[in-house]
Amino acid sequence: DGGITQSPKYLFRKEGQNVTLSCEQNLNHDAMYWYRQDPGQGLRLIYYSQIVNDFQKGDIAEGYSVSREKKESFPLTVTSAQKNPTAFYLCASAGTGGAEQYFGPGTRLTVT
């Protein structure tokens, strides 16, 4: 089955802890993206990567970090510096040249 997987579906952490969200794709896509979704706010871009070992900050990168060591994987770390980390996090991937973006099922992170 081809697609994008995100794990876990639900994640709970205490304030002050770093947490890493997993995103894996087997679609052979070059580009991968991380978005955050809050009620009434739509999707906001956190980080994106067009090729392995390269990534760029999106609109709300502060308090987050990523790596792209493999084409298939693009993990997102939510650090303790992120002031409001509780949200729904979505990962996506796409080919190049204006190709369709495909989304994973999302991870709901709750920090208390």
Partner 1 sequence: KQEVTQIPAALSVPEGENLVLNCSFTDSAIYNLQWFRQDPGKGLTSLLLIQSSQREQTSGRLNASLDKSSGRSTLYIAASQPGDSATYLCAVTITQGGSEKLVFGKGTKLTVNP
Which residues sit at the interface with partner 1, rule CB under 8 A? Answer: 4, 6, 31, 33, 40-43, 45, 48, 50, 56, 58, 88, 90, 92, 94, 96, 98, 100-106, 108
CA angle 42, 28, 96 (to 5 degrees): 60
Minimum distance of partner 1 from residue 28's CB (angstroms): 17
Q: Report whether 89 contacts 110 (CB < 8 A).
A: no
Handedness of CA 91, 96, 101, 102 (dihedral sign): negative
- Using the minimum distance from each CB to partner 1, give the nearer residue, 13 or 108: 108
15 vs 59 by CB, closer to partner 1: 59
Looking at the DSSP assignment, which residues form a beta bridge with residue 91?
34
CB of 110 to partner 1, least distance (A): 13
DSSP character string of 30-57: SEEEEEEEETTTEEEEEEEEEETTEEEE
Q: Minimal distance in Å, beta carbon 57 to partner 1?
A: 11
Toward partner 1, which CB reaches closer, 52 or 103? 103
